[in-house]
Amino acid sequence: MKTSLLLALASILLIFSSCNSHSTQESGTAAFAFRTDQFLGEQDEPTIRIAAIRGPTALGLLQLMHRHELGNTYNNYSFELVGSPEQIPPMLVQGNIDIAAVPANLASILYNRPDIDIQVLAIVTLGVLHVVDTFGDITSIACLAGRTIFVPGQGATPEFALNYILEKNGLTPHEDVYIEFRSEPAEIAALLETGRAQTALLPEPFVSTALARIDGLNLVLCLTYEWNRVQPDYGLIMSVVIGRRSFIDENPSALAVLLEEYAASINFMTTNITEAAELAAQFEIIPSVEVAKTALPRTNITFITGHTMKQNLMGFYTVLYNQSPQAVGGRLPDENAFFIP
């Protein structure tokens, strides 16, 4: 079984759903056949401890989490959903997790830390950011001039993506556009609901959740489209999956199985919207099945590995580095940052 799974990695899934018709990146599909007589691996394989940030970063894992609850996975897993990216580094330092789905720029920051030894395994989320507001008169980035926009996670991908797009449109962050940071999207959604915020940058599925709950809230800009308009060479990458280097080196068979099961989970979540929406509600990533059905097509979950992953991430990291070296941990990662099967 393990040999066939290793060979199957050569054709691992590359699939995503664009936030709108302006995206020009290619996609493909692959079939995954699981042999039900060989579930739950072998006794000598470790339990793989996986953490993911609750939200779009975790969506691709949900079908795998569900299958594990049913006992229908090759590997043994434990899963933990956390509220913010800041919770991940201590878990890695203390050796409490083996795998984590994290913001793309955090992976580079962690790679550059001397006390953490990780590699990037796959890109798992592309652009999911949207501008929403209660005025309804924003039709372009230029319309943000003079506005205050609430943004989740200072020092994370949303900040750097927004700053890059503002600057490319001739606007200076914190001068032409006022930016207020909050730690989590849910906090910003609450501000919108109470009227203490009028304009915000939010990721899916928080966008669809807010639109369903807040009267008069409008989705006005898709940041993926705005990014592609000013940066056509390298797409907006939101999150990746990383692994501790010691786990990767010591467990090649378990890792190969994980990558295939992860890819199959994402394949399911992007091609079975009704069932995927039920899982998103069941695991409390999205508050209801109906909202999930709206949000999932805009979540842009994907699974990109190998040399394509490396090329796309290095381009994206270079864009961030040229804007602010601290966005990627002070220096660009070298080729050892990427796991190439």
Quick: pLDDT tens for 223-234. 999 999 999 988
| pLDDT-wise least confident of 21-25, 163-167, 203-207 | 21-25
Asked if the model's pLDDT at residue 28 lies above 50, the reply is no
Q: Is the pLDDT of residue 27 over 50?
A: no
Tell me what pLDDT residue 135 has.
Answer: 86
Residue 4 has pLDDT above 80, yes or no: no
State percent of the chain over pLDDT 90. Answer: 73
Q: What is the 3-state secondary structure (H, E, C) of the chain?
A: CHHHHHHHHHHCCCCCCCCCCCCCCCCCCCCCCCCHHHCCCCCCCCEEEEEEECCHHHHCCHHHHHHHHCCCCCCEEEEEEECCHHHHHHHHHCCCCCEEEEEHHHHHHHHCCCCCCEEEEEEEEECCEEEEECCCCCCCHHHHCCCEEEEECCCCHHHHHHHHHHHHCCCCECCCEEEEEECCHHHHHHHHHHCCCCEEEEECCHHHHHHHHCCCCEEEEEHHHHHHHHCCCCCCEEEEEEEEHHHHHHCHHHHHHHHHHHHHHHHHHHHCHHHHHHHHHHCCCCCCHHHHHHHHHHCCEEEECHHHHHHHHHHHHHHHHHHCHHHHCCCCCCHHHECCC
Q: What is the pLDDT of residues 174-189, one digit of tens each?
A: 999 999 999 888 899 9
Least confident of 8-17, 173-182, 260-269: 8-17
Amino acid 324: pLDDT? 87
pLDDT digits (tens, 9 = 90+) for 105-159: 999 999 999 999 999 999 999 999 999 999 888 999 999 999 999 999 888 888 9
**Residue 77, pLDDT above cutoff 90:** yes
Q: Which two tokens stand for residue 52?
A: 């993911």
CB atoms within 10 A of CB 78: 12
Provide the token pair at 270. 């992007």
Nearest CA to 33 among 253, 267, 241, 252? Answer: 267
Q: What percent of the chain has pLDDT over 70?
A: 87
Say whether domain 129-230 belongs to CATH 3.40.190.10.
yes
Q: For residue 11, what pLDDT band results from cuts at 50, 70 and 90?
A: very low
The domains spanning 2-126+236-337 and 129-230 adopt the same CATH topology: yes
Q: Locate tokens 């939200």: which residue? A: 55
pLDDT of residue 44: 62
pLDDT-derived band of residue 3, with 50, 70 and 90 as boundaries? very low
What's the rounded mean pLDDT across residues 208-219? 91
Look up the CATH architecture of domain 2-126+236-337: 3-Layer(aba) Sandwich (3.40)
Q: What is the mean pLDDT of the chain?
A: 86
User: pLDDT tier at 75 (50, 70, 90 boundaries)?
Assistant: very high
Contacts of 188 (CB under 8 A, 6+ apart): 150, 151, 152, 182, 197, 200, 202, 206
Question: Residue 157: its pLDDT value, please?
Answer: 86
Q: Output the pLDDT for position 55.
A: 85
pLDDT at 154: 84
Quote the pLDDT of residue 97: 95
Per-residue confidence (pLDDT) for residue 341, from 0 to 100: 84
Q: Does residue 205 register a pLDDT over 80?
A: yes
The predicted structure's pLDDT at residue 292? 93
- Phi (first) and psi of residue 219, to 5 degrees: -85, 115
- Selected residue with higher pLDDT from 202 and 46: 202
Q: Per-domain residue ranges for the chain?
A: 2-126+236-337, 129-230
pLDDT grade for 25, boundaries at 50, 70 and 90: very low
Rounded CA-CA distance 285/279 in Å is 9
Q: Could you tell me the pLDDT band of residue 279, with boundaries at 50, 70 and 90?
A: very high
- Per-residue pLDDT at 40: 53
Q: What is the pLDDT of residues 307-334, one digit of tens each?
A: 999 999 999 999 999 988 999 999 999 9
What is the average per-residue pLDDT within 48-74?
94
